[in-house]
Amino acid sequence: MLTVQNLNLKTLVLPVNSVVSGFEQIQVAARVIQRGGLVAFPTETVYGLGANALDSVAVLALFKAKNRPLDNPPILHVSDVNQVYQFVGEVPRNAGVLMRQFWPGPLTLVFKRSEALPKESTAGLDTVAVRMPNHSVALALIKQSGVPIAAPSANLSGNPSPTLAQHVYDDLAGKIDVILDGGSTSIGVESTVLDLSVNPPVLLRPGGVSFEAIRAVLPDVVLHPFVISEQEVTVKQARSPGMMHKHYAPNAEVILVEGNLSEMINKIIDLSEQYICEGKKVGVLATDETRNKYFGCTVKSMGSRSNLNLIAGNLFKELRAFNITSVDVILAESVPLDGIGLAVMNRLRKASGYNIIKA
Ligand code: TXA
Ligand code: MG
């Protein structure tokens, strides 16, 4: 029987191919949310791990299952714009155009919080991050639950985010009640986080909606320096707690090589030869155009350089795939910073712990 979140649970995996054929499964999952349990569900970005945002005990269980630092708040997921007005203290004027243009979709907006939310749901901050996901299963789950769903990505803290139900299972089986398996997520990197509680608005995390697209409707938006930083941010500079924490790392050490394409390839070849001489097993996170350049290494491709969206979609899956190889070090290629490339590079820099080599 499904119970409130506990250690050593049997995690139920329920396939949902569509809201119509999977409606019963979604209803089961919604009841689990209502009873204070934990449900992993697909969104268009990555899988989320959901709990009733109004239930502080459930939200604390969520942190525990993920081993997430308590200072890093989850995003509140809503299925209806009215919920924003219910759970947010102050909705600034510029929010309307963004919600109309980008919701449902991969844009998270940070607002001043309201007292209607327990402090656990906002990790004690005076702001709250909200988004409406563009995924029919996620929207149906939120609607059926009848409450906003607090949901960080459904991975163990520090691991790459899950883009398949299998990734969620690998990290969280036995720690959560239900996984709704809706197949592969389409975007593959998380939502863009935009802080509207300050003026001018600040983009805190690049993601599924590009900086360029936001600037087209909000010309005064600025990038937080951390977004393009090639160094770790200090606590004082962090506007978003997630900026400080270890992220996206596979088991092996990651080294990110940045530079123009041919110099980058040559640098990776040099480095791989050095490591192989030292007796190390080397992985290379490459692209379709470059994968044949590397020898004596385990090479994985993120996709073609002609389509950064595909690269974003494959990034976390390929980083995780190195965990079932025996490589000691992963040499990662960089990609251009345009569009969703900014989000990909931000994830790669964090995955490397800012271990970046310029070619
Ligand atoms: O695409 C996504 O956003 C996915 C799916 C499941 O919706 N969720 C996700 O959640 O990536 P999470 O918890 O892994 O990342 C949320 C980010 C963290 O960096 C956190 O620090 C930041 O949002 N955040 C949450 N509340 C915030 C707030 N009030 N102010 C600033 N940043 C906040
Ligand atoms: Mg996360």
| 203 token code pair | 């983009």
218-244 in b/e burial notation, b at 16+ Cβ within 10 A? Answer: beebebbebbebeeebeeeebbbebbb
Strands 329-333 and 107-113: unpaired
pLDDT surpassing 60 at residue 2: no
pLDDT tens-place string over residues 211-229: 999 999 999 999 998 888 7
Q: Closest Cα to atom 19, ligand 1: which residue? A: 242
Q: Closest Cα to atom 20, ligand 1: which residue? A: 242
**Token pair 């990034």 is at which residue?**
315
pLDDT surpassing 80 at residue 70: yes
List, chain by chain if needed, residues with CB within 6 Å of any ligand 1 atom.
43, 45-46, 48, 72-75, 106, 108, 110, 122, 125, 127-129, 131, 133, 151-153, 190-191, 193, 204-205, 240-242
d(CA 346, CA 157): 17
pLDDT tens-place string over residues 88-142: 988 999 999 999 999 999 999 999 999 889 999 998 899 999 999 999 999 999 9
d(CA 300, CA 287): 8
Residue 248: predicted pLDDT:
85
Mean pLDDT for the stretch of residues 321-346:
96
Banded model confidence at residue 1, pLDDT cuts 50, 70, 90: very low
Residue 8: predicted pLDDT:
61
Residue 200 preceded by cis peptide, ω within 30: yes
Banded model confidence at residue 9, pLDDT cuts 50, 70, 90: confident
Computed over every residue of the chain, the mean pLDDT equals 93
Mean pLDDT for the stretch of residues 240-248:
72
Determine which helix (DSSP H) or strand (DSSP E) holds 307, and give its type and residue range: none
Mean pLDDT for the stretch of residues 273-296:
97
d(CA 274, CA 131): 46
Give the chain's length. 359
More confident residue, 26 or 242: 26
Q: Given CA atoms 111, 114, 118, 119 in this order, what sign does their dihedral have?
A: positive
d(CA 31, CA 144): 8
